[in-house]
Amino acid sequence: MFKHAPAYELGRVAMAELLARHDLDPARLDQVIFGNCAQPAEAANVARVTALRAGIPERVPGFTVHRNCASGMEAVADASYRIATGAGKLVLAGGMESMSQIPLLYAPSYADWLEGLMRAKSLPRKLGAYARFRLAMLAPRIALAEGLTDLTCGLNMGQTAEVLSREFRIPREQQDEFALQSHQRAVAGRERLREEIVPMFPPPDFTMVRDDVGPRDGQTLEALAKLKPYFDRKNGTVTVGNSCQVTDGAVALLVGDEATAKTWPVPPLGRIRAFAFAGLAPSRMGLGPVYAMSRALSDAGLELADCELFEINEAFAAQVLACLHASKSDEFARAELGRERALGEIPIERLNVNGGAIALGHPVGASGARLLLTLLHELRRGGARRGIASLCVGGGQGAAFILERE
């Protein structure tokens, strides 16, 4: 849908809309911090490029952060650090990603051949260079697939989900049921989600896109059951149907200190109580939310039961279900978290109430910020005070934010 819209165009729309909705003079900004993973070659430091294209004055500096799937959360965390240390009062933070435009790459042998051809000056040398050409040099490397494969453990992200499905004995049927629920909730919440969406008119036909294009109204268990395992074709349970969708998107948030927030024409959606990042084995990266939530709750002096709503990024159904199992396990808490007892049970009826990435998609540089925005809106709608948003991070990390409303 957005394959002809680069990340900096998606980000520009989000930034400009945020400033317009709040009637905010962009000259008041102290910094722009945006997450992005696959930075476009033509837009180095893509956050700065995007900010300038959005009409933010040249004097307002900007930089890009990259923590894989948590890049959007990293941007908000960096904004919070700067505000806490007095280095700023108002920061535009968020994330953006065009996974559609992650390029195909050619092998180094092709680059070497091109270099040799350009260096050849005489006709004999040029003919010799052409004679060394092999069609195999044109075999493309899929950068998206390589980026979603962990270099240290050798597993792609779907294979790490298979690791968890076996470890926690999560059957295929349960994964498909969770995926179906994600679609059903996203379809039911379409009108609510419009509060956080700005319509786009992407090229080439510039037809308006008003809603997320991933949720399927007619999704059924029968259709999901027909899909074959994708990452372990012989014995696996993880399919494209119970995995997150590869999508494009951008999210923009204003982060300010309390005095600045009180001057906004629109009341702030909430405040950051605590946040944390955690590390774990890359092959079990999907459990990252449990590690990060444990640390964030400890920092805030809270228990899991003190949170009323939960957002966990749905990288894979197996991964989220594994987190639900681990969070209520005393054994896991003692062995992995250094706790005497489990974090607690996350009620499924209060988790991802408007669906998640299986239906909505996972534009990796933006998803962390999207989870924060979605949680804040749902806290407001439901009159709830506190919630936690978390996600797993490729490479073996987790991120979690505890958000509150007055």
Alpha helices, DSSP H, located in 151-281: 157-167, 172-188, 190-193, 221-225, 258-261
Helix axes 71-84, 367-382, angle to 10 degrees: 70
User: What b/e string do you get for 236-252 counting C-beta neighbours within 10 Å, with b at 16 or more?
Assistant: bbbbbbbbbbbbbbbbb
Instruction: Tell me how many degrees the CA angle 302-303-305 measures, rounded to the nearest 5.
Output: 130
Distance CA 90, CA 80 (A): 10
User: What b/e string do you get for 21-33 counting C-beta neighbours within 10 Å, with b at 16 or more?
Assistant: eeebebeebbbbb
Which is the catalytic residue, given 37, 69, 307, 323? 69
- Which is nearest to 96 in space by CA: 401, 368, 352? 368
Half-sphere exposure of 174 (CA within 13 A, CB side): 14
Length of the chain: 406
Distance CA 88, CA 32 (A): 11
Which is the catalytic residue, given 22, 325, 362, 377? 362
Distance CA 319, CA 168 (A): 10
Residue 336 burial (C-beta neighbours within 10 Å; 0-12, 13-18, 19+): middle
In 205-352, which ranges are E strands? 248-256, 271-279, 309-312
- Which is nearest to 17 in space by CA: 96, 89, 81, 101? 96
Alpha-carbon separation of residue 365 from 61, 117, 160 (angstroms): 20, 38, 20
Known catalytic residue: 323?
A: no
Distance CA 363, CA 214 (A): 12
Token pair listed for 289: 């939310």
Known catalytic residue: 69?
A: yes
Which is the catalytic residue, given 37, 244, 323, 392? 392
Non-local (6+) Cβ contacts of 39 within 8 A are 7, 45, 46, 64, 66
Known catalytic residue: 307?
A: no
In this structure, is the dihedral angle defined by the CA atoms of residues 27, 30, 35 and 38, taken in order, positive or negative? positive
Residues with catalytic function: 69, 362, 392
